[in-house]
Amino acid sequence: MTMTTSTLWDQALDDLRTKLDEESFATWLEPVHFLSHEDNVVVLTVSSVFNRNWLANNYHEVIQDSLSGLLRREVTVEYRIRPDEGLARTEQQAMEVFRRTQGEAPPLDLISCPFNQTNTFEAFVVGECNRFAHAAAQAVADPESLAYNPLFLYGGVGLGKTHLMQAIGQRLQTFGSHLIVRYVSSEAFMNAFIEAVAQKRLVEFRNSFRNVDLLLVDDVQFFSGAEQTQTEFFHTFNVLYDAGKKIVISSDHPPKELHELEERLRSRFEWGLIVDMQAPDLETRVAILRKKARPMNLELSAEVTIYIAERVRSNLRKLEGALTRLAAHASMIRSPITIDTVRSLLGPFLVGAEPKKISIEKVQMAVCNYFDVTLLELTGPNRSRKFTTPRQIAAYLCRELTDCSFPEIARKFGGRDHSSIIHSHRKIQREMATQLSLQNLIKYLTKLIKEEPPIR
């Protein structure tokens, strides 16, 4: 059934109404208008920069998940500002909510963006990919520490930069109300600066940003092309740094690659500690899924958890979106989540989720024939090199050429624990990087397996 654009947003609002409390829905979602839907991008309009940033920080995931669920494919949601004098009352309501949740409203619009209360150190899942960033962030959050100033976090979308920044701000605030924290997106800083210039309130603006104990600026790459804003931020940075105040900055690239920013600004970003936020590895993704599933009352077996973690690799937001969709399904159907359920609900979003017409048995037989070993020897407990090498190669090829999860593969290798299959896969990957002969062997076996008729 073809869904009209207006129907799409109406249905999304009906869905969102069930997920939010009445006041939050009325204040933040009802005033949002639908603008367009083209390809996989849905554009919504809001009344102000304040509203846009509040939505982006607090409700973006639930909005995106609702729209993706209705369209049965993943969509990107964008927010645009619309000029509309008739929305003054909505803006007043938004500021009133801001006052109740964050204290007095700032003297200028968007002097500080609100924190997402769930973005704490306790909620952050630490793995090898982000352990250093997490430790550095905790050090900055210690009011007695002067280390790592400025702290510059960079990495792709959905890797936890904003989470860590907000965790720093919220942790520092727990040490006393006398500590002043400002958290803003680069766009919020720029718009507040423009507003201050227009209203001739630059002194007030500067006092708001320069009389703080911690300044956190998210997505600084968006300062590109805004020369006056860069100049203003440059001087703000100098004032804070010289006063020994803390500065935390995030970007999608390291300072040296932000070519559209002034060189003097980039050089200051390099004065402190630069930390690369990397994509989470498999173990970290599994840990994230387990931690996020608990508050949703979503029960996932180890096999299902690993299956999702294997195939949702790009960023944490997609992991959370996948869980939200599964939780909604589980609450309606009230039946256990199986791998077939995951394939059905999340199919378009899973890497390598399309079924492949290659079985584990087919891979095993090809490897057995090449190395002249029996299937019992390949899958058995003998740890002689004669059998472990073909066993590891077979495990690697099973993971690469079939749609089976690590636990599924492990069961076909003598009922081993899935961690042994993960180890074999990584070992072959690592050795292929330095051994041309192994690369050629894997290519040969892959070609052989794909060209042979499937086993009946």
| Contact call for residues 248 and 240 (beta carbons, < 8 A) | no
Distance spanning both ends of the chain, measured CA to CA: 38
Distance CA 422, CA 395 (A): 8
Domain annotation for the chain: domains and CATH numbers: 5-102 (3.30.300.180), 131-276 (3.40.50.300), 282-349 (1.10.8.60), 360-451 (1.10.1750.10)
Smallest Cα–Cα separation from 313: which of 289, 291, 294, 290? Answer: 289
Six token digits for residue 447: 């070609």
| Amino acid (one-letter) located at 420 | S
Distance CA 414, CA 412 (A): 6
- Please tell me the predicted confidence (pLDDT) of residue 91: 41
- Please tell me the predicted confidence (pLDDT) of residue 28: 81
Distance CA 182, CA 213 (A): 8
**Side by side, which strands form the sheet with 273-276?**
181-185, 214-218, 246-251, 151-154, 273-276
Distance CA 341, CA 330 (A): 10
Question: What is the three-class DSSP state of 66?
Answer: helix
Cα angle 403, 159, 190 (rounded to 5 degrees) comes to 145
Give residue-wise pLDDT tens across range 70-98: 888 888 888 887 754 333 444 444 445 54
Burial status of residue 246 (CB atoms within 10 A of its CB: 0-12, 13-18, 19 or more): buried
- Please tell me the predicted confidence (pLDDT) of residue 103: 47
- Please tell me the predicted confidence (pLDDT) of residue 353: 45
Distance CA 153, CA 251 (A): 6
| Amino acid (one-letter) located at 44 | L
- Please tell me the predicted confidence (pLDDT) of residue 317: 74
Question: What is the three-class DSSP state of 104?
Answer: coil
Return phi, psi of residue 275, to 5°.
Answer: -125, 130
**Beta bridge partner(s), residue 42:** 37, 77
Distance CA 344, CA 330 (A): 13
Distance CA 68, CA 308 (A): 17
| Contact call for residues 114 and 104 (beta carbons, < 8 A) | no
| Contact call for residues 440 and 406 (beta carbons, < 8 A) | no
Q: In this structure, are strands 181-185 and 214-218 parallel, antiparallel, or unpaired?
A: parallel
Six token digits for residue 349: 């979003």
Tell me how crowded residue 10 is: count the other CB atoms within 10 A of its CB: 13
- Look up tokens 């999340």; give the residue: 346
3-state SS string for 228-265: HHHHHHHHHHHHHHHCCCEEEEEECCCHHHCCCCCHHH
Tell me how crowded residue 290 is: count the other CB atoms within 10 A of its CB: 15
The pTM of the full predicted model, rounded to 2 decimals, is: 0.56
**Beta bridge partner(s), residue 41:** 38, 76
| Contact call for residues 233 and 189 (beta carbons, < 8 A) | yes
Q: Which residue positions in the chain have pLDDT lower than 70?
A: 1-6, 23, 49-50, 83-111, 314-315, 347-357, 452-456
